[in-house]
Structure formats: C-alpha cells, structure tokens
C-alpha cells in the first residue's frame, strides 16, 4: 500500500460523504467534497508517475474509484430531481457495457492493452462538468440556463463513446486489431 493507493481509497471513502451532502441538499459541501475527491485523483496519478509507485492494485482501483464517484453522483442527483433519470441510466449503462466488455475479454483470454480513448476523456469531462454545473445552478441563472447543454452533451458523448468502445471491443475479439485508441 503506497500513498497513491491511499489517496484512491480516500476518494472511495468520500463517496458516501458526497452523496449525503447531495441528498440533504448541501450543494456547497457537495461541491467541496467532489472537488477534494477530484484532487485526490489528480494527485494520486501524478504521485504514482513521478515517484514510480504505480501498482497493479492502483491500476485497477483508480478507474473503479472514478466510476463509483461519477455513478454515485448521477444516481444521487437523479434521486433529488436535479438530473433526469434517463441521463443517469445512459451514464450507468455505458459503464456496465464497458465492464461487460472487460469481462468478455477475461472469459476469452484476451488481454489487450487498454487505454482510454480521446472520446472517453471528453465524455468523462462532460460528465464531471455537468455534475458541477448542476450543483452550482442554484447560485447562477447562467448555469441554470446552460444545464440542458451539459445534460444533452453528456448524453451525446456518453452514447458515442459507449458505441466506440463496443466497436473497438468487437474488432479486438475478431482479431482484426490488437490495440487501438
């Protein structure tokens, strides 16, 4: 257990704190918790690279922590009616499809080197910004007006990146391409 992995575990432990603040409608504390969780993600990755402390545990735990935080945020915000439920379903369905793809790779003994695509990075950024915009919308009429842009942009990129991963996964499983970004 090294410092980057400890920071990842802290991010996971912040999830119920964040959800509590969202459910009890304390957006300032929810935002602070979400930002602190995001900073642990930034710092753990930087520390792991700079100090050469990358571990197999960290390689699995870090993306799981990220998915748990984002999924929890979408679920909690849908529960209180700040985000439409259909968007939460889209976000979680994409993650389930990606997980099932990894499971299929495992069952078929495929071990391709996987890297997040640029489309996936754009999707994650849209998802994060949408959470922040929704949490801050009560403090700014401008943010309230652009919330639909975040919602529909997140839906668009989430669906597109999910389809892209399905495409890449089927190409890998069909043996046409060993590694693609």
* 25-44 residue pLDDT tens: 999 999 999 999 999 988 88
Q: How many angstroms separate the CA atoms of 58 and 99, rounded?
A: 17
pLDDT band at 171 (very low <50, low <70, confident <90, very high): confident
Convert 115-149 to b/e letters by CB count within 10 Å (16 or more is b): eeeebbeebbebbbebbbbbbbbeeeeebeebbee
Burial of 92 (0-12, 13-18, 19+ CB in 10 A): middle
Q: How many angstroms separate the CA atoms of 59 and 170, rounded?
A: 23
- Write out the residue range of the structural domain in which residue 10 sits: 1-82
Looking at the 3D structure of the chain, how many domains does it have? 2
pLDDT band at 77 (very low <50, low <70, confident <90, very high): very high
Q: Domain boundary at 51, 82, 113, which? A: 82
Q: Domain boundary at 82, 110, 131, which? A: 82
- Could you tell me if 119 and 154 lie in one domain? yes
Higher pLDDT, 131 or 99: 131
- Could you tell me if 99 and 64 lie in one domain? no
- Could you tell me if 2 and 73 lie in one domain? yes
* Global confidence as pTM: 0.86
- Could you tell me if 105 and 167 lie in one domain? yes
- Read off the pLDDT of residues 119-135 as tens digits, 9 standing for 90 and up: 998 999 999 999 999 99
Q: Domain boundary at 38, 67, 82, which? A: 82
Identify the pLDDT of residue 114.
66
């Amino acid at each position: 257990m090294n410092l980057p992995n400890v920071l990842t575990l802290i991010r996971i432990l912040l999830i119920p704190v964040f959800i509590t603040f969202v459910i009890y409608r304390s957006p300032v504390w929810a935002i602070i918790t979400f930002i602190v969780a995001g900073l642990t993600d930034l710092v753990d990755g930087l520390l792991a690279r700079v100090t050469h402390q990358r571990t197999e545990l960290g390689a699995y735990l870090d993306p799981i922590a990220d998915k748990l935080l984002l999924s929890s945020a979408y679920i909690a915000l849908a529960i209180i009616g700040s985000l439409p439920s259909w968007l939460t379903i889209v976000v979680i369905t994409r993650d389930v499809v990606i997980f099932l793809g990894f499971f299929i790779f495992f069952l078929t003994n495929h071990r391709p080197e996987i890297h997040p695509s640029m489309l996936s990075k754009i999707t994650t950024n849209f998802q994060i910004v949408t959470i922040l915009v929704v949490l801050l919308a009560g403090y700014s009429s401008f943010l309230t007006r652009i919330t639909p842009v975040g919602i529909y942009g997140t839906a668009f990129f989430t669906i597109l990146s999910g389809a892209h991963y399905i495409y890449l996964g089927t190409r890998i499983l069909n043996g046409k391409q060993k590694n693609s970004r």
